[in-house]
């Protein structure tokens, strides 16, 4: 079945033009009534994108003027190791299938990437020319709590990816992790998290346990996976 003229015109206004871009829409069309529902949701998301994306870019610009990306030359030994780990995770993401859900998904969808203060330097190196919006994790939290009234479900005009590193353990994790993954005295735990999300029920995250001995960080084990 061929897409109707009306469908083609509305899809063109959303930026879908090539055979590859229209393939998914063609499949929806063949399925029947769901096509118009999804198209309407996409048009609604595009409207929100046009309204909110400039504000998001301005917000990110204000954040970087207030707190510039730190120079790696200023990093401590621990921060250099954290930068190394987060940089590797970001490069792995670029080479993974997850990349297309965040950086190459829809014409009217922003990529919002967040990380730690140390991770900002890595993010600028990997994603600085991608057009993605890069925020420190507390900045992203402020955007969604104070500026944009996000809803947990619906057709999002943005997609998220994040890479964080937490020193130490949360209270609820501490006993089980120390029992299951004992480390030498003088070492400490780091929790490295990588995640993606492009909808209320679309995405996931992994949580890794690392050991820091004051000189070098070493991977221990993947200890948690979230599915949204």
Chain segment 88-106, per-residue pLDDT in tens: 999 999 999 999 889 986 7
Residue 12 — very low, low, confident or very high, per pLDDT cuts 50/70/90? Answer: very high
Residue 32 in any domain: the answer is no
Compute the distance between CA of residue 10 and CA of residue 101 in angstroms, rounded to an integer. 22
Contact yes or no for 182/133 (Cβ under 8 A): no
Residue 209 in this model has a pLDDT that exceeds 90: yes
The pLDDT of 94-123, averaged and rounded, is: 92
Higher pLDDT residue, 22 or 62? 62
Number of domains present in the structure of the chain: 1
Give domain status of residue 154, yes or no. yes
**Can you give the C-alpha Rg of the chain in angstroms?**
20
pLDDT number for residue 171: 82
Domain, as residue range, for 112: 55-227
- Residue 83 falls inside a structural domain: yes
Q: Which residues have C-beta within 8 Å of that of residue 110, sequence separation ≥ 6?
A: 49, 53, 56, 132, 133, 157, 158, 159
Residue 36 within any structural domain of the chain: no
Residue 44 lies in a domain: no
Which of the residue ranges 3-17, 25-39, 59-73, 194-208 would you say has the lowest mean pLDDT?
25-39
Give the per-residue pLDDT at 152. Answer: 63
> Would 19 be classed as within a structural domain?
no
């Amino acid at each position: 079945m061929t897409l109707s003229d009306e469908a083609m015109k509305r899809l063109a206004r959303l930026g879908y033009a090539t055979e590859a871009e229209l393939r998914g829409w063609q499949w929806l069309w063949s399925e029947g009534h769901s096509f118009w529902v999804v198209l309407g949701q996409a048009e609604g998301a595009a409207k929100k994108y046009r309204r909110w994306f400039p504000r998001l870019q301005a917000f990110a610009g204000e954040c970087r003027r207030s707190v510039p990306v730190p120079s790696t030359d200023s990093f401590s030994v621990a921060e250099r190791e954290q930068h190394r780990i987060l940089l590797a995770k970001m490069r792995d993401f670029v080479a993974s299938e997850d990349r297309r859900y965040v950086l190459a998904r829809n014409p009217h969808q922003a990529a919002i990437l967040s990380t730690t203060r140390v991770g900002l330097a890595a993010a600028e190196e990997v994603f600085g020319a991608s057009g993605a919006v890069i925020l420190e994790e507390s900045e992203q939290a402020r955007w969604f709590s104070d500026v944009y009234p996000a809803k947990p479900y619906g057709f999002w005009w943005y997609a998220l990816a994040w890479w964080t590193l937490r020193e130490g353990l949360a209270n609820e994790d501490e006993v089980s992790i120390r029992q299951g993954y004992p480390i030498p005295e003088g070492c400490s735990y780091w929790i490295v998290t990588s995640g993606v999300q492009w909808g209320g029920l679309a995405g996931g995250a992994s949580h890794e346990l690392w050991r820091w001995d004051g000189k070098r960080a070493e991977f221990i084990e993947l200890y948690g996976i979230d599915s949204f």
